[in-house]
């Protein structure tokens, strides 16, 4: 296969290109109103598409936030090939943003890292968050590795207002 000139093979899609495609498709889905309603179509916008990684760092699916002001109203989820789309809402009712969490709790890496540090031991520091899940892919959460001065490490997860130690055990799936 021919080279694309930047070290990639022709036809290979970069992660950033796939993220752009995911955001564009989520924008079309939001505008179409079939998944998210008219209230959000008029008030919300699509955020940056983020890869959700598995235990080995592989991209399993995409998380595309829908943000209204400083709140996250919901998100689109697409498989790695961007062919299967789902919608999840934080709204309690389709005509209000009441109850939607601050977007920073889900999208701001510093806020997520600070939430992880709230459950850290005094000698632990937090690595950069990676969007992942705790055992079951439907439990989307930020994985943050806490590293001690002695070199040991452990993972914690952060989702919204909550942080918890990784449960361990094998990844479960519905396949």
Query: Distance between CA atoms of 160 and 118, rounded to whole angstroms?
Result: 13
CB-based contacts of 81: which residues, under 8 Å, 6+ apart? none
Residue 78: exposure state from Cβ atoms within 10 A (0-12, 13-18, ≥19): buried
pLDDT, position 147: 96
pLDDT tens for 76-111 read 999 999 999 999 999 999 999 999 999 999 999 999
Q: What is the mean pLDDT of residues 115-124?
A: 95
pLDDT tens for 30-83 read 999 778 888 999 999 999 999 999 888 899 999 999 999 999 999 999 999 999
Say what the pTM is: 0.85
Q: 30 phi and psi, to 5 degrees?
A: -65, -45
Residue 73: C-alpha distances to residues 13, 27, 41, 43 (Å): 29, 14, 11, 10
Q: Is-contact 35 85, C-beta < 8 A?
A: yes
């Amino acid at each position: 296969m021919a080279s694309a000139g930047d070290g990639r093979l022709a036809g290979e899609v970069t992660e950033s290109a796939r993220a752009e495609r995911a955001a564009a498709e989520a924008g079309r889905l939001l505008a179409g109103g079939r998944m998210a309603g008219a209230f959000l179509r008029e008030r919300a916008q699509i955020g940056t598409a983020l890869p959700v990684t598995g235990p080995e760092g592989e991209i399993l699916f995409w998380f595309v936030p829908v943000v209204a002001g400083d709140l996250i109203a919901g998100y689109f989820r697409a498989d790695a090939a961007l062919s299967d789309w789902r919608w999840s809402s934080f709204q309690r009712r389709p005509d209000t943003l009441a109850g939607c969490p601050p977007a920073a709790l889900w999208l701001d890496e510093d806020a997520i890292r600070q939430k992880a540090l709230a459950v850290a031991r005094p000698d632990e520091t937090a690595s950069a968050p990676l969007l992942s899940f705790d055992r079951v892919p439907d439990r989307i959460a930020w994985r943050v590795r806490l590293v001690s001065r002695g070199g040991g490490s452990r993972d914690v997860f952060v989702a919204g207002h909550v942080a918890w130690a990784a449960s361990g055990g094998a990844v479960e799936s519905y396949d």
